[in-house]
Chains A and B, each alone.
Chain A
């Protein structure tokens, strides 16, 4: 088999479209599954509500707060899991603390992710000795922990995520504690909203049999990946195996698409795979195969 390669066809701030080749189907699918479920991000995990006179009840709001994507660049190294941290409750290495304190004094207002303010660790983590490991903090990326929205995106069209609408006299005050986690535990830790995955757009391998009434070609429009491969010849090659895999990863905003793909920890022996990526956009990126 040829050298594993990765060709990026399109890269946007919230999505990446790439073609992977030189790997087998199982590997490609594992990559897809890991992107969806095993990439660590930060998300609000605990909400301590002090005042809530909004129309939404505490659990409702907590759920909404949890779903806000928080910028988690290099979360893998820049933060500890709660279970790995020697601290008793939460500390600067395993948690980020936010405060939301809004009160509507006139008319109506929208409470959004913008109202979430990060509290510097010095104000809440006084027990520095217990778990000191300064270098972890340094590994965090820019804007780490900031809710994805206008603050992290230069796009003027970008709007913050709305939480609840307040009427005059209503208020919300809460302390939110964000933790590192993976989507296996809860979907809020998923860095991506959808992962498109396809191979063999012409169905040359005959892994599926299309349903049709009169004409298969007319009834099943070809996907856009079909231009990457030659149309099927007359002879069916029964020894052929899938070679090229087309990925389309759309992120929630907590990680950028490059990182989603790079941060993958594949549970396979490192010696088995050596991946070099030929990138048009980045020169040399490596998918780190850890363990």
Chain B
């Protein structure tokens, strides 16, 4: 009790100190301006504090939470009414929606409240979906009464792990262990039908922003906007054509001269147009003047004329909006000007909000677009870069689910409405119509539930409403190693086509500094298109816009609708945009932005709202939309970082959190645009008076996967990229629950070790707790000649002692099915062989229940589930006799056993029996193999240096140093010079020093243990400072002539093992159709003598060999050919000539005979003209 009180007092004291800190530090306290700024030690500690609240997978979780807590309500609000066309009094209105905790769809028996509770692990094992109920409150009319009902289920929503609704959130390690969940598992994925699915982050061009592009070959300048609102998505272009400017839009059949558009939008006089577009700038006026003529020549002077002109070109075959009265019939055609008015109001630039029918905001917006085009025509530097990260938005799981839900919900309502109409149409009803029944009935048909499950499990997002049809949105979470799972959660895919030849989208963008990892991208096809988040990145969710607009007005912004052209384009005027729409004007952008930032730092505005000045466009942009990439930075004021040692001290004590730093205005989030408007110092020593921010830690520009590499800043850059790909293939630990899981394929290292040379990132992402590799003692030298082309030598004794040993678990599943005709599968015990009176050998592992026992060894061909299926399972005629158990014997069964197929023996690791959601019995058998490394297994260090095991060498033959230390691995030095992986050499040095000192060393990027210090440790321990050792040959006992670089390097065993790939065949199965050998290892296929090999044989003239390879050893077939008619006969008889006189036997490939027959089937006669050879 005393201790508790003391602790609380301490905490309170800390809090008080924290509150007081800022006040003091603002004083000068005797410091001089020229004093060097002391580096804040341990400011990297902000990083773990940050990762506790944001970062890595938190964006997935945040986005899902936003969807469930906010977006769902908004979608409901937008679609809350279902009315009837038949009965105008009737309606059903949704008043509230919520998502419940994950529940089991098939609850246990009884009344216990626990019977619904489900854990993600149960879903994985039982192949069910981890989902919660979507519950609505409704209000509807029954007869004449208004009825209110609460808690009606309309479907089930898959729940993201570790989100607000997930049962794992906020649980302690012990509680997680009880739920068989790994505390280090990042979450952020779904469990759908037992598989773990990730919705990858999608990269897109930002919505509702003007982007100006040029096509230099055609001399076209184009400003485009993708408008996106809840109702509509459309793209509007303003482009030049032969020097004149037009508006282009999907709903308008031809490009409209821009002046006509502006006139249609109510800017009638040419002068006003000119002023609105160009202000007083003579250059622009000149460039624009031609357009004014254009309108005049077309005879368009007034708004009405302009609307008529446009109306004639508007496409009217727009789909009838859902829910409109009239039931499918086209309404009468309206006058052209009305159509134009409607199109301009609702479709063109749909995101620009209008009050009533006042087109002024849109006119200004179009004018601004035109001006941007003019600017780009005059100065090509003002063309936007669509690869700039600030112009990108990332779409996360929440947004995609919101789209899907909206679609499904609308469909649900549509069906409901149809049902209601059908019932209400009937003239006489016996009872009052209660819509609740229809509602629950619809919910039971599982449209919404199935919609979610289907979309997530197939990855096909096809939403007709938004013309969206994306495949491959979701992926199975790769559980090869902990890193591969984590790497998947930070992955970003681009919507760009992979085949396009442009390099822009693939190139490294300077603006991705600190936001996206520069190293972690795949090689080949998707290179540069698939990216990964950096360590400190966060992706924003939507922030409400209205309060921000209000704040902007309070800070002195003048309403845009009150301004005229010259005012807007006055040299001192800056336009203020909120989320891309023009809000107003300001004359003091600097003051406006700084006071806006002050409000944000004070916490009056969400920390994720960004504000920056674009001096080229003379605009101030405020962004509050979701999907922006941002990261935290230390604020620098008056040349001093606001975070001081005292702050860090309190952070170290755990009294304050990252949010306290935010709230106090010590750090803030900057998005890409604002970051590029800031002056950021990398280190304290680089701070100058103009500096606005300080980086928290330089190594955070790398992502989680690249963060594993020690000394990456010493490596050639592609090497780091290679390691990023290989780190995901390394075998190691998957999670604390790895032996509880039943995965299709699971690789686990027997003795994983944490690396001798760590990085800060490794500690932050817990790679040291779930490592994938071992510290091998490496000698960098040549040995034996079996080490060419990156092969390495491995010490046999090391293998004996467990180096590189791994376990492979493979899942085998079968359903014990019940068939519609009343029959069912069954498990049988081993049959008795009549001769020996014992079960045959291949049933040796079976137990009495027909399933192999846990721990039993399986040899190839052994039966491990002795299943039997009814012979007439597919016969759907229902037979009552079968159901009668006394007649069970009349059912004929055939054997459908599961046999073990791998060429190497295995051991039954686990057997699981359960029931699926639709009452079928599910049997999962996990079979394990333990493998020691063999010749040809693949290994790699953490520097993109992969290689195979070339030879296994006896320990006594290994070189050794004077202490008798032998290497585990001998690495060929030829792998070094061309690859320039200096980081690997430093890793060895630091590792060696670490071993000698008994301490782990750090190889953190842009920091880490210094080579000089490492050398000092080596010297102190009697070693050469360069890490080179005098080795003696194990074969002769003589010293090696050369010194050898010798020490520990962290080695990963990669998943590619010879055992899984080795394949050869002499004889084997053939394909049914062609009678040629089958293809591929899985079918025990033949090795193909391909076209190029064939060419060689032809070129050499090896005809007999050619004949043997292509026919005799493949599909030789003896045919009877008639020399008379040239057609194929049979059994020495020609059916055409009705004779056996001139029938000859010859051997041809079966494929050729097949060709002849197929040709004959097509009415083509292939005749064989035979000649004596």
Residue among B750, B907, B1039 making CB contact with A207, cutoff 8 Å: B1039
Within 8 A of A (CB), among B660-688: none
Within 8 A of A (CB), among B1014-1048: 1019, 1022-1026, 1028, 1030, 1032, 1034, 1036-1043
Evaluate contact between A59 and B797: CB separation under 8 angstroms: no
Residue among A25, A57, A196 making CB contact with B963, cutoff 8 Å: A196
Evaluate contact between B800 and A37: CB separation under 8 angstroms: no
Stretch at the interface among B129-137, B632-640, B894-902, B953-961: B953-961
Complex CA distance for A36 and B800, rounded to whole angstroms = 14
Main secondary structure of the interface of B (DSSP, over half): loop
User: Given that A26-B1037, A52-B855, A219-B1024 are known contacts, is A190 also in contact with B964, CB under 8 Å in the complex?
Assistant: no
- In this assembly, does B962 line the interface, its C-beta being within 8 Å of a C-beta of chain A? yes
Which residues of B lie under 8 Å from residue A225 when comparing CB positions?
962
Residue among A37, A186, A197, A221 making CB contact with B1023, cutoff 8 Å: A221
User: Given that A197-B962, A208-B1041 are known contacts, is A33 also in contact with B930, CB under 8 Å in the complex?
Assistant: no
Evaluate contact between B930 and A59: CB separation under 8 angstroms: yes
Which residues of A lie under 8 Å from residue B1036 when comparing CB positions?
25-26, 29
Which residues of B lie under 8 Å from residue A223 when comparing CB positions?
962, 1022
Complex CA distance for A52 and B802, rounded to whole angstroms = 21
Complex CA distance for A210 and B798, rounded to whole angstroms = 29
- In this assembly, does B739 line the interface, its C-beta being within 8 Å of a C-beta of chain A? yes
Evaluate contact between A187 and B1023: CB separation under 8 angstroms: no
- In this assembly, does B758 line the interface, its C-beta being within 8 Å of a C-beta of chain A? no
Evaluate contact between B956 and A37: CB separation under 8 angstroms: yes
Evaluate contact between B1042 and A187: CB separation under 8 angstroms: no
Evaluate contact between A183 and B797: CB separation under 8 angstroms: yes
Complex CA distance for A62 and B1026, rounded to whole angstroms = 41
Evaluate contact between B955 and A36: CB separation under 8 angstroms: yes
- In this assembly, does A188 line the interface, its C-beta being within 8 Å of a C-beta of chain B? yes
Give the one of B960, B963, B964 with max A CB within 10 A.
Answer: B964
- In this assembly, does B928 line the interface, its C-beta being within 8 Å of a C-beta of chain A? yes
- In this assembly, does A60 line the interface, its C-beta being within 8 Å of a C-beta of chain B? yes
Evaluate contact between B1026 and A211: CB separation under 8 angstroms: yes
- In this assembly, does A275 line the interface, its C-beta being within 8 Å of a C-beta of chain B? no
Evaluate contact between B960 and A197: CB separation under 8 angstroms: yes
Residue among A49, A186, A190 making CB contact with B855, cutoff 8 Å: A49
Evaluate contact between A32 and B1037: CB separation under 8 angstroms: yes
Complex CA distance for A207 and B798, rounded to whole angstroms = 29
Evaluate contact between B800 and A188: CB separation under 8 angstroms: yes
- In this assembly, does A28 line the interface, its C-beta being within 8 Å of a C-beta of chain B? yes
Residue among A33, A200, A211, A249 making CB contact with B1028, cutoff 8 Å: A211
Name the distance in Å between B1022's Cβ and chain A's nearest Cβ.
5
Residue among B855, B1024, B1037 making CB contact with A29, cutoff 8 Å: B1037
- In this assembly, does A250 line the interface, its C-beta being within 8 Å of a C-beta of chain B? yes
User: Given that A58-B907, A197-B964, A219-B1024 are known contacts, is A211 also in contact with B801, CB under 8 Å in the complex?
Assistant: no
Which residues of B lie under 8 Å from residue A76 when comparing CB positions?
none
- In this assembly, does B104 line the interface, its C-beta being within 8 Å of a C-beta of chain A? no
Evaluate contact between B1037 and A67: CB separation under 8 angstroms: no
Residue among B750, B807, B957, B1039 making CB contact with A208, cutoff 8 Å: B1039
Which residues of B lie under 8 Å from residue A207 when comparing CB positions?
1038-1039, 1041
Give the bracket for the number of chain A residues in contact with chain B: 35 or more
Name the distance in Å between A241's Cβ and chain B's nearest Cβ.
11
Name the distance in Å between A9's Cβ and chain B's nearest Cβ.
14
Complex CA distance for A183 and B797, rounded to whole angstroms = 8
- In this assembly, does A220 line the interface, its C-beta being within 8 Å of a C-beta of chain B? yes
Evaluate contact between A208 and B1030: CB separation under 8 angstroms: yes
Evaluate contact between A57 and B909: CB separation under 8 angstroms: yes
Complex CA distance for A221 and B1021, rounded to whole angstroms = 10
- In this assembly, does A195 line the interface, its C-beta being within 8 Å of a C-beta of chain B? yes
- In this assembly, does B17 line the interface, its C-beta being within 8 Å of a C-beta of chain A? no
- In this assembly, does B796 line the interface, its C-beta being within 8 Å of a C-beta of chain A? yes
Which residues of B lie under 8 Å from residue A184 when comparing CB positions?
954
Name which residue of chain B comes closest to A249, CB basis. Answer: B964
- In this assembly, does B965 line the interface, its C-beta being within 8 Å of a C-beta of chain A? yes
Name the distance in Å between B542's Cβ and chain A's nearest Cβ.
46
Complex CA distance for A209 and B1036, rounded to whole angstroms = 17
Which residues of B lie under 8 Å from residue A28 when comparing CB positions?
1037
Evaluate contact between A210 and B1043: CB separation under 8 angstroms: yes
Which residues of A lie under 8 Å from residue B1041 when comparing CB positions?
207-209
Complex CA distance for A210 and B802, rounded to whole angstroms = 34
Which residues of A lie under 8 Å from residue B930 when comparing CB positions?
57, 59-60
Name which residue of chain A comes closest to B1032, CB basis. Answer: A197
Residue among B955, B962, B1025 making CB contact with A196, cutoff 8 Å: B962
Name which residue of chain A comes closest to B932, CB basis. Answer: A63
Name the distance in Å between B361's Cβ and chain A's nearest Cβ.
67
- In this assembly, does A248 line the interface, its C-beta being within 8 Å of a C-beta of chain B? yes
Name which residue of chain B comes closest to A64, CB basis. Answer: B802
Contact with A along B12-54 (1 / 0, CB 8 A): 0000000000000000000000000000000000000000000
Name the distance in Å between A168's Cβ and chain B's nearest Cβ.
14
Residue among A25, A187, A203 making CB contact with B796, cutoff 8 Å: A187
Residue among B801, B956, B962 making CB contact with A67, cutoff 8 Å: B801
Name which residue of chain A comes closest to B807, CB basis. Answer: A57
Name which residue of chain B comes closest to A32, CB basis. Answer: B1037
- In this assembly, does A194 line the interface, its C-beta being within 8 Å of a C-beta of chain B? yes
Name the distance in Å between A188's Cβ and chain B's nearest Cβ.
6
- In this assembly, does A77 line the interface, its C-beta being within 8 Å of a C-beta of chain B? no
- In this assembly, does A55 line the interface, its C-beta being within 8 Å of a C-beta of chain B? yes
Contact with B along A213-230 (1 / 0, CB 8 A): 100000111010100000
Within 8 A of A (CB), among B932-982: 954-957, 960, 962-966
Evaluate contact between B797 and A190: CB separation under 8 angstroms: yes
- In this assembly, does A243 line the interface, its C-beta being within 8 Å of a C-beta of chain B? no
Complex CA distance for A49 and B1030, rounded to whole angstroms = 46
- In this assembly, does A114 line the interface, its C-beta being within 8 Å of a C-beta of chain B? no
Which residues of B lie under 8 Å from residue A259 when comparing CB positions?
none
Complex CA distance for A55 and B750, rounded to whole angstroms = 12
Give the one of A25, A28, A36, A60 with max B CB within 10 A.
Answer: A36
Complex CA distance for A84 and B855, rounded to whole angstroms = 32
Name which residue of chain A comes closest to B961, CB basis. Answer: A196
Which residues of A lie under 8 Å from residue B955 when comparing CB positions?
36-37, 183, 187, 190
Which residues of B lie under 8 Å from residue A250 when comparing CB positions?
964
- In this assembly, does A198 line the interface, its C-beta being within 8 Å of a C-beta of chain B? yes
Contact with A along B253-296 (1 / 0, CB 8 A): 00000000000000000000000000000000000000000000
Complex CA distance for A171 and B797, rounded to whole angstroms = 31
Name the distance in Å between A75's Cβ and chain B's nearest Cβ.
19
Name the distance in Å between A182's Cβ and chain B's nearest Cβ.
11
Residue among A60, A186, A194, A221 making CB contact with B964, cutoff 8 Å: A194
Evaluate contact between B907 and A59: CB separation under 8 angstroms: yes
Evaluate contact between A25 and B1042: CB separation under 8 angstroms: no
Which residues of A lie under 8 Å from residue B956 when comparing CB positions?
32-33, 36-37
Evaluate contact between A209 and B1042: CB separation under 8 angstroms: yes
Name the distance in Å between B909's Cβ and chain A's nearest Cβ.
7
Evaluate contact between B1030 and A210: CB separation under 8 angstroms: yes
Name the distance in Å between A173's Cβ and chain B's nearest Cβ.
12
Binding site for A on B (CB under 8 A): 739, 750, 796-798, 800-802, 805, 807, 855, 907, 909, 928, 930, 954-957, 960, 962-966, 1019, 1022-1026, 1028, 1030, 1032, 1034, 1036-1043
Binding site for B on A (CB under 8 A): 25-26, 28-29, 32-33, 36-37, 49, 52, 55, 57-60, 63, 67, 183-184, 186-188, 190, 194-198, 200, 203, 207-211, 213, 219-221, 223, 225, 248-250
Complex A-B: 29 CB contacts under 8 Å:
A25-B1036, A32-B1037, A37-B955, A57-B807, A57-B907, A58-B855, A58-B907, A59-B907, A60-B807, A67-B801, A67-B802, A183-B955, A184-B954, A190-B955, A195-B960, A196-B964, A197-B964, A203-B1039, A207-B1038, A207-B1041, A208-B1039, A209-B1042, A219-B1024, A219-B1026, A220-B1024, A221-B1022, A221-B1023, A248-B963, A250-B964
9 further A-B contacts with Cβ under 8 Å, apart from A36-B955, A208-B1043, A223-B1022, are: A32-B956, A59-B930, A60-B750, A183-B955, A197-B964, A210-B1043, A211-B1042, A221-B1022, A225-B962
* A-B pairs, 5 with minimum CB distance: A29-B1037, A194-B964, A187-B800, A187-B797, A196-B964
